[in-house]
Amino acid sequence: MAYLFTSESVSEGHPDKVADQISDALIDNFIAFDKDSKVACETLVTTGQVVLAGEVKSSTYLDVQKIARETINKIGYTKGEYMFDGNSCGVLSAIHEQSDDINRGVDRANKEEQGAGDQGMMFGYATRETENFMPLALDLSHRILKELAELRRENKDITYLRPDSKSQVTIEYSDDNVPQRIDAIVVSTQHDEFDEDEAMLAKIRKDIVEILIPRVIAKIPEQIQVLFNDGITYHINPTGKFVIGGPHGDTGLTGRKIVVDTYGGKGAHGGGAFSGKDPSKVDRSAAYATRHIAKNLVAAGVADEILVQVSYAIGVVEPMGVFIDTYGTCPFNMTDGEIAEKVSKLFDLRPFAIEERLKLRAPMYSETAAYGHMGRENETVTKTFTQPNGESVTLDVELFTWEKLDYVDKVKKAFGL
């Protein structure tokens, strides 16, 4: 019997994502000037206020207020009428030195013996559903909001958009787990004031269905385009008016959108957030490493769908174990346990080895903090960072290194494919 599966996304202007972006902007600035910085930074945003809290060990000094304000303005909160804007909001910093008790389990004289920054389990997932090996419902949810943000910045075809928005896509699958059609799409977008609520709702619905969705469809592969049909149920701003939004409408916190950040409910999640953490925290680095493993295994033909789990103990170098679930999609005679054993030998999952393999000691994290950490484009960009004393550094930074298919040949050789 066919079944439905749903995933959601939230925009860069969602209050939780505002918090994530501020935390990751701080990470990037610390690492840009001291690549060995240890940072765990949480952000809270609410009406007219930002609170920064966390632990840092770094040789550099930053103007954290300036970084927070620049991030907020870049997102689009630039008007007083939003009741939260980068130029006028208060920014309170409660960042202090990292605990020596934690640090002694991480830092070692020999960097290769670096221990895990915390205990826990991390998951990576990949599927053949899409070209970027991501679950389709989440991929489409992200695409809808990225395109909506483009329309907002263009301020041409739709001129009333504000930064906060959410999307949700429901896909109908066949018995053999193949997407058949899109059943429903939900879009809620913050907007300017209208004179009449009823006219406002009609206008927003028309623009979303007739302007936004066609732009999304035009940018996706043909095999996905055919899933869009006249039978889709649209829920556009289903509660009605959405003028009050962003941190004024709802308090935002770092790390509160972890399923949006990963696989939209497909696969699994270990529970640890990513944003605000330097790569010595395996919540982040090992989640990227397991995605890298899962994607390369699927691309190499080991299975059509794969979940990878790795687990750690704080201060311990070697992982506790590696688990693989191919959901019965492995085309050759090998158990999931046998696959896990090969993976353990092929991929070095010690924390420092992960940092080195994925080049994680670089200011690459701001780009991860909205529209998902997985399924993104691996590219190199040039970034410039400036300290309060005027010293600046310009770096070429490779983004989303865990999305590279650089182990496919190695996997094929190891598995005899």
Answer whether residue 105 shows pLDDT above 60.
no
* Annotated binding residue 277: yes
User: What's the burial of 85, exposed, middle or buried (CB within 10 Å: 0-12/13-18/19+)?
Assistant: buried
What is the predicted pLDDT for the residue at 42? 97
* Annotated binding residue 167: no
Reading the block at residue 87, the tokens are: 């130029």
* Annotated binding residue 166: yes
Mean pLDDT across 96-109 = 62
* Annotated binding residue 107: no
Mean pLDDT across 368-384 = 98
pLDDT tens for 128-149 read 999 999 999 999 999 999 999 9
Would you say 257 and 14 are in contact if contact means Cβ atoms under 8 Å apart?
A: yes
pLDDT tens for 276-320 read 999 999 999 999 999 999 999 999 999 999 999 999 998 889 999
* Annotated binding residue 250: yes
According to CATH, what is the number of the domain 3-10+135-245?
3.30.300.10
Distance in angstroms (rounded) separating the CA atoms of residues 216 and 349: 37
Global pTM? 0.95
Answer whether residue 101 shows pLDDT above 70.
no
* Annotated binding residue 153: no
* Annotated binding residue 197: no
What is the predicted pLDDT for the residue at 114? 77
* Annotated binding residue 241: yes
According to CATH, what is the number of the domain 120-127+279-415?
3.30.300.10
Q: What share of the chain is helix, strand, coil (3-state, %, to 5)?
A: 35, 25, 40
* Annotated binding residue 98: yes
Report domain extents, the chain.
3-10+135-245, 120-127+279-415
Which band of pLDDT confidence, cut at 50, 70 and 90, is reported for residue 414?
very high
Same fold, 3-10+135-245 and 120-127+279-415: yes
Answer whether residue 9 shows pLDDT above 90.
yes
Distance in angstroms (rounded) separating the CA atoms of residues 326 and 328: 5
* Annotated binding residue 101: no
